[in-house]
Amino acid sequence: MLITINGQGMEVALDPRTSLLDLLREHLELHGTKKGCDQGACGACTVLADGERILSCLALAVQYEGRSISTVEGLADDGRLHPLQQAFIDHDGFQCGYCTPGQICSAIGMAAEIGRGVPSAVTADLAATTIPPTRDELRERMSGNLCRCGAHNGIIDAITEIYSAEAAE
Amino acid sequence: MTTIRDAAQKLMQTAIGLAPERWLPGGTPDPLIGRHGAIGSSVPRIDGPRKVKGEARFAAEVPAGNMVYAALVYSTIARGRIATLDTDATQAVPGVVLVMTYRNAPRMAPPALFMSDPRAAGASSLPVMQDDTIHWNGEPIAVILAETQEQADHAATLVRVTYTKETASTSFDAATAQAHRPDSVLGEPAVIEIGNAEAALAEAAHQIDRTYHTPRHSHAAIEPHAATVWWEADGRLVVHDATQMLNGTRWTLAGIFGLKEEQIRILSPFVGGGFGGKTLWNHQILAIAASRLSGRPVRVSLSREGVFRVSGGRTTTRQRVALGARADGTLSALIHTGIAAMTAYNNCPEQFSFPARHLYAADSFKLEQKVADLDMVANTFMRAPGESIGTFALESAIDELADSMGLDPIELRRRIEPVKDPTSGHAFSARHLLDAYARGAERFGWSARNPTPRARREGEWLIGMGVATATYPYYRMPGGAARITLTREGQARVAMASHEMGMGTATVQVQAAADRLGLPIAHVTFAYGDTALPPGTIAGGSSQTASIAAAVTAASEKLVPALLKLVGNDSPLAGLRAGDVEARDGGLGHRSLPERFESYASILSRANRDEISAEAEAPMPLEVQKYAMHSYGAQFCEVRVNAVTGETRISRFLGSFDAGRVLNPRTAASQFRGGIIMGLGLALTEETLFDARTGRIMNPSLADYHVPVHLDVPQIDVIWTDSPDPHAPLGAHGIGEIGITGVGAAVANAVYNATGRRIRDLPITLDKLL
Ligand code: FES
Ligand code: FES
C-alpha cells in the first residue's frame, strides 16, 4: 500500500494486523511517536492524519492507505523547531519526554479543532462560531494526553503561548 | 532479612573506617554553596530539543539486527502449580521462533533481592521460571519469541494451561491477623518506643485516635517497561534497559546468569518515567534467557496489562495515628503504628512511620510497622514510599487534633516544632519548616480560611482550605565514582553511570560541574546512562543529585593536584599546592592573588598534553549519621466539593518547600509540581484494584487506573526557602519525592473544611462524600 508520512510517499507491505503506530515504530524506524498503552488510553501515540489528531495505536495501518500522516519528526522545518516545540522547551512542558511527541501533535490537532469552532465539554456557548482558547478549554481538550511526570502546567503554558496569541491575531 | 541489617551494619563500619571529615562537624561546607554561577540559574534542559523532536531514544527503540519480539503469558491463579501446559498451537504459528516455559528455560540463579547487598537490584528473590510453581496471579509462565510483535501476541493467546490451585493469601484483612514485625525497615528499627505512649494518651486532656487506610498504587509511567537485549559472539551481554539502577542491574544479572560484571553492559540514557518502578523485574531476565536460547536479539516491551502483572507498585496499608495533647497543644503522646501488605520474598515494608520519627516534639512515642504476607506481585518503592501515605495519616490526625482543640493547624504545628530530632536526638542539619509555613500561608491567603467546616458555599460548590506538612529524608548513596576529563581546548567531560528519567540530571550536573571547574556550561558535557562509565548509584530516594555531586567533587579534588603537577617552573602557578588554588575562569588561580592564574588550555598545551583525566569515588555518606537531614514543605490546598454529586475539584494548590539549595529553578519547579500532581492522584483518583478472592489486579490499564489528567490539574504554585544545607554537597537536597508528601492530607483536610466530612480512606472518591 501507499502512504504518505511527513510529506514523503512510501510503499509498504504489511501484516494487515499492524497498527499505524507499529508501522511507524517497528517498520519505518520512526520512534518519535510513542506507545504508552496500545489501547487508546494515554495519547502518547497521537499523530495527525490529514491534519486531524488520531490515536495511531487504535488505527490499523491499512486503513490509512493513501492518507497523509504527520508525526513529531515532521514538525521541525529545515532543522528549525516548530514554535510549539520551542515553547515546550521554554515552559519546561516535559520531564522524561515520553508523552511529549503525543502532547505536541495533539495540541496542533486541537488548535485546528478550536479554529473550526468544534465545541468541547466545557464550551459555554455551543452556538458560538469562535471559541476562545481559554485555559479550561485547553485543559479539557488535552485531557486525552496523559503525562505521569506532571508537566501539565508547562504543557498548557506552552500551548497557550502559541495558540492564544494566534487566536488573538 | 537479617542479611539486610548485617549488610547495612557492615556498610556503616566500613564507612566509619574511612571517616572523611567533609560535610561533618568541623569540616568545611562545600565552597560552592555561597557562590552564584551556573548553579541556581534556570538553564533549559540540555536534552530538550531531542525530546521535543522525538529523537530521544528509549529502550524499546534501539535497533538490533535480526531481532525478534517477545510476548508473555501470565498465570491466572495466585498460588499452585502448572498441571498441564500445551504450546503446540503456539509453536505452529508462522513466525514463532521460540516458546520458552519452565520446561526449557535455562537454569538461572534467583535474583539478589534489593538491599540484601549494596549492589543488589532484584525486586524479589523468587526464582524466575525455574519450575511449575506459581507465586502470584499474573506471574509470567511462557515467553513467545516471533519475527513480529503481532505474531508473538497472537501466538501467546494460544498457550493452553491448567493449574492445580493451592490456598493463597490474597486478603489483606485476613493476613493482618498474622502480621509480623520485619527485622528492619530500610535499615531502621521496625519499632521505636520512647516512654509509655499508650498511658500518656489515656491521660491526655485532648485525644485523637484514628485509623486510616491507603490503597495500592501504580507508578503508571507512560513508557511501559521495556528492554532490547542481545548476546555478543564472545558471550558478553548487552542490555538496553529502562532502568533507574544501572549498576545494580548489572551486578544482579551477573549473579543470575553466572557472568562477570565486566561481561555485561547496560545502557539506559532515557527512561520514560520511573518513580521507583523501573527496576529489575522478570521481563528483562526472561528476555535475556530467551535471547540465549534462540540466539537472536530480543525486544521485550510490556503491554500495559503486562506492566501491572510483572511489576509491583505501592502497597496497601492500615495505619493508626493517636495523639495526646495538653491544653496548650504540646504533645504528650505520638503513636503511629500500622500494617503494610508485603510478600515473603521482597523487602519493601512501606516506611509510613518515618515522618512521625522526625517531624514533631512529643513526650512519648510509639512507632511501629508490621507487614502482612500476601501472595501477590512484589510490591515496591513508589515515589516517597512510606512518606507519601504516612503523611496522609499523620497530617490528617494533626488536623483532626487542631480542629478538636479549636486551634489553627499551622499554629498547632508551631507549638510542636522540635529543637532536635525527636527520636534520634541528632541536631537538624537544616530545618526551616516554620519559615516555609509562614511564606506559604502569606502567599496562599491562609488567613482568609474560615475554620468552621462547611461555611463557604458558591452555588452547588462547597469550598474549603487545608494544609499539611511535607517531609522526605536526605539520602546520599555510597559506591559512585565520577571521571572528569579536561581537554587542551578547555572543555570538560564528566562521566558517571547515572540516570535521566525526567529529573534533568545532565542539565543540573553540567551546571554543578561548570561551577566546580570554573568553566562556562557550554564547555561541559555530562555522560551517563551506560555501565561502561564509572559506576553510578541508584536513581532512588531522591539521592542522585547529591550522590553525583559528591563524586564529581572527589574527582575534581584529584584533578587539581594532577594539574599542578603538570605546571612548569615558568607557570604563574609554579610552587602552589592544591589548597592554595581554586578553579575559576577556565583555569586554576591562587585564592587571593589574581595574577597567579593559568588556564587549563595553557597548562595542558605547555605540558604537551591533549587531555588529563581524574576519577574518584565519593566518600561514604557519613553526614546522615551525624545529623537529622530532611527536606520539608507546607502544602496548601483549596478544594471545591459539589454538594450534589460529591465531586471534588482542586481549585488552588501551593507547595512551599524547604529543600536545601535549589540548583535549577526551572527543573526544580517541575519536579515539585510533578510530585504534587501525583499526590493529587493519590488523594482523589488512584487505586490499583486487587481482588481479595483471586489476587488478580482488576484494573490493569490506563483507562481504569486513573492518573490525573490536564483538567484535574490546576495551576500549581511552588515556592522555596532556598536555604542551603551546610552538610550536603552543593548545599542541595534531592527533590524528586518531597512534592508528593503531605498532598493527600492537604486535600483531605481541605475536603473536611469544605464539607465537614473527614475521609480517612483514600482515594477520596465522590461515593465517600455523599
Ligand atoms: S499508545 Fe495509543 S493511546 Fe496509548
Ligand atoms: S514528560 Fe514524562 S510522561 Fe509527560
DSSP structure string for B275-297: TT--SB-HHHHHHHHHHHHHTS-
Q: Is A45 in the pocket of ligand 1 (CB under 6 A)?
A: yes
Taking residue B693's Cβ as centre, other Cβ atoms within 10 Å add up to 9
| pLDDT at residue number B2 | 41
In this predicted structure, the answer to whether residue B613 has a pLDDT above a threshold of 70 is yes
Q: Which of B368, B500, B686, B737 is catalytic?
A: B737
- Angstroms from B573 CA to nearest CA on chain A: 42
* Cβ B270 vs Cβ B500: under 8 Å: yes
* Cβ B733 vs Cβ B542: under 8 Å: yes
Domains of chain A: 2-74 (3.10.20.30), 83-168 (1.10.150.120)
Interchain CB contact of A74 with B (< 8 Å): no
Which ligand 2 atom minimizes the distance to the CA of A103? 4
Backbone φ and ψ of A149, nearest 5° = -75, -15
CA dist B21 and B59 (Å) reads 41
- Helix intervals (H) in B311-432: 354-358, 387-405, 409-415
Q: How far is the CA of B122 from the centre of ligand 1 (A)?
A: 29
Q: What residues of B are in contact with residue A35 (Cβ under 8 Å)?
A: 60, 224, 301
Q: Is A119 in the pocket of ligand 1 (CB under 6 A)?
A: no
pLDDT band for B19, please (50, 70, 90 cuts).
Answer: very low
Contact B670 A145 (CB under 8 A): no
Which value does ipTM take for this structure?
A: 0.97
CA dist B70 and B97 (Å) reads 10
Contact B273 A18 (CB under 8 A): no
Interchain CB contact of B304 with A (< 8 Å): yes
Taking residues B65-93, report their average pLDDT: 98
| Cell numbers 567531560: residue | B493
DSSP symbol at B92: T
Most A CBs within 10 Å, among B41, B42, B46, B53, to test the A interface: B53
CA dist B484 and B460 (Å) reads 62
pLDDT band for B377, please (50, 70, 90 cuts).
Answer: very high
Query: What would the 3-class secondary structure string for B584-649 be?
Result: ECCEEEECCCCCCEEEHHHHHHHCCCCEEEEEEECCCCCHHHHEECEEEEEEEEEEEEECCCCCEE
Q: Global pTM?
A: 0.97
Q: Which three cell numbers stand for residue A166?
A: 494566534
| pLDDT at residue number B4 | 46
- The better pLDDT of the pair B671, A164 is held by B671
Of A161, A153, A81, A144, the C-alpha closest to A109 is A144
pLDDT band for B1, please (50, 70, 90 cuts).
Answer: very low
Residues 6+ apart with CB under 8 A from B236: B263, B264, B265
Q: How far is the CA of B541 from the centre of ligand 1 (A)?
A: 30
Q: From residue B159, give the alpha-carbon distance in Å to each of A42, B188, B292, B620, B694.
A: 29, 45, 22, 51, 21
Residues 6+ apart with CB under 8 A from B348: B315, B342, B378, B379, B380, B381, B385
pLDDT band for B547, please (50, 70, 90 cuts).
Answer: very high
Q: Which three cell numbers stand for residue A73?
A: 519528526
Most A CBs within 10 Å, among B41, B42, B52, to test the A interface: B52
Q: Which three cell numbers stand for residue B208?
A: 485523637
Q: How far is the CA of A23 from the centre of ligand 2 (A)?
A: 23
Nearest CB partner across the interface for B673, out of A35, A76, A153: A153
Which long-range CB contacts under 8 A does B577-583 form with residues at least 24 apart?
A: B582/B31, B582/B518, B583/B516, B583/B517, B583/B518, B583/B519, B583/B556
Q: Which residues between 142 and 171 in chain B have a beta carbon less than 8 angstroms from any beta carbon of chain A? A: 148-151, 154
Contact A150 B48 (CB under 8 A): no
| pLDDT at residue number B22 | 54
* B744: Cα separation from own chain's centroid: 18
DSSP symbol at A161: I
Q: From residue A150, give the alpha-carbon distance in Å to each of A154, B314, B575, B677.
A: 9, 18, 53, 6
Rg, C-alpha atoms of chain A: 16
Q: Is A50 left (phi over 0), alpha (psi -120 to 50) or beta?
A: left
In this predicted structure, the answer to whether residue B507 has a pLDDT above a threshold of 90 is yes
Taking residues A27-49, report their average pLDDT: 98
Strand (E) or helix (H) holding A18? none
Strand order of the β-sheet with B630-642 is B457-458, B461-473, B630-642, B648-658, B716-720
CA dist B441 and B638 (Å) reads 12
Contact A149 B502 (CB under 8 A): yes
Q: Which of A38, A99, A100, A148 to mutate to test the pocket of ligand 1 (most atoms within 8 A of CB)?
A: A38
Of B542, B208, B243, B273, the C-alpha closest to B387 is B542
- Angstroms from B708 CA to nearest CA on chain A: 8
| Cell numbers 485547553: residue | A138
Written as one letter, the residue type at B764 is I
Contact A92 B45 (CB under 8 A): yes
Interchain CB contact of A27 with B (< 8 Å): no
In this predicted structure, the answer to whether residue B9 has a pLDDT above a threshold of 50 is no
In this predicted structure, the answer to whether residue B743 has a pLDDT above a threshold of 60 is yes
| pLDDT at residue number B13 | 43
Q: Is A136 in the pocket of ligand 1 (CB under 6 A)?
A: no
Render pLDDT for A113-124 as a digit per residue (tens, 0 to 9).
999 999 999 999
Q: Is A42 in the pocket of ligand 1 (CB under 6 A)?
A: yes
Q: What residues of B are in contact with residue A17 (Cβ under 8 Å)?
A: 150, 154
* B652: Cα separation from own chain's centroid: 26
| pLDDT at residue number B34 | 76
Q: What residues of B are in contact with residue A73 (Cβ under 8 Å)?
A: 53-54
In this predicted structure, the answer to whether residue B254 has a pLDDT above a threshold of 70 is yes
Render pLDDT for B320-372 as a digit per residue (tens, 0 to 9).
999 999 999 999 999 999 999 999 999 999 999 999 999 999 999 999 999 99
Taking residues B673-697, report their average pLDDT: 98
Most A CBs within 10 Å, among B43, B151, B222, B666, to test the A interface: B222
Written as one letter, the residue type at B574 is A
- The better pLDDT of the pair B314, B11 is held by B314
The percent of residues above 90 in pLDDT, for chain B, comes to 95
Strand order of the β-sheet with B587-590 is B581-584, B587-590, B597-599
| pLDDT at residue number A169 | 53
Q: How far is the CA of A58 from the centre of ligand 1 (A)?
A: 7
Domains of chain B: 59-167+222-273+278-310 (3.90.1170.50), 178-217+314-475+625-769 (3.30.365.10), 478-620 (3.30.365.10)
Interchain CB contact of B418 with A (< 8 Å): no
Q: From residue B18, give the alpha-carbon distance in Å to each of B42, B228, B496, B561.
A: 37, 40, 22, 21
Q: How far is the CA of A143 from the centre of ligand 1 (A)?
A: 13
DSSP symbol at B162: E
Contact B710 A99 (CB under 8 A): no
**3-class SS at B547?**
helix
Which residue on chain A is closest to B677 by alpha carbon?
Answer: A150
Q: Which residues between 119 and 158 in chain A have a beta carbon less than 8 angstroms from any beta carbon of chain B? A: 122, 135-136, 138-140, 142-156
* B491: Cα separation from own chain's centroid: 33
According to DSSP, the residues that pair with B371 across neighbouring strands are B180, B340
CA dist A24 and A30 (Å) reads 5
CA dist B695 and B312 (Å) reads 13
In this predicted structure, the answer to whether residue B473 has a pLDDT above a threshold of 50 is yes
CA dist B87 and B81 (Å) reads 17
Interchain CB contact of A103 with B (< 8 Å): no
In this predicted structure, the answer to whether residue B23 has a pLDDT above a threshold of 80 is no
**3-class SS at A49?**
strand
Interchain CB contact of B703 with A (< 8 Å): yes
Contact B710 A40 (CB under 8 A): no
- Angstroms from B303 CA to nearest CA on chain A: 7
Render pLDDT for B551-609 as a digit per residue (tens, 0 to 9).
999 999 999 999 999 998 999 999 999 999 999 999 999 999 999 999 999 999 999 99
Contact B702 A144 (CB under 8 A): no
Q: How far is the CA of A38 from the centre of ligand 1 (A)?
A: 5
Is residue B460 among the annotated active site residues? no
DSSP symbol at B526: E
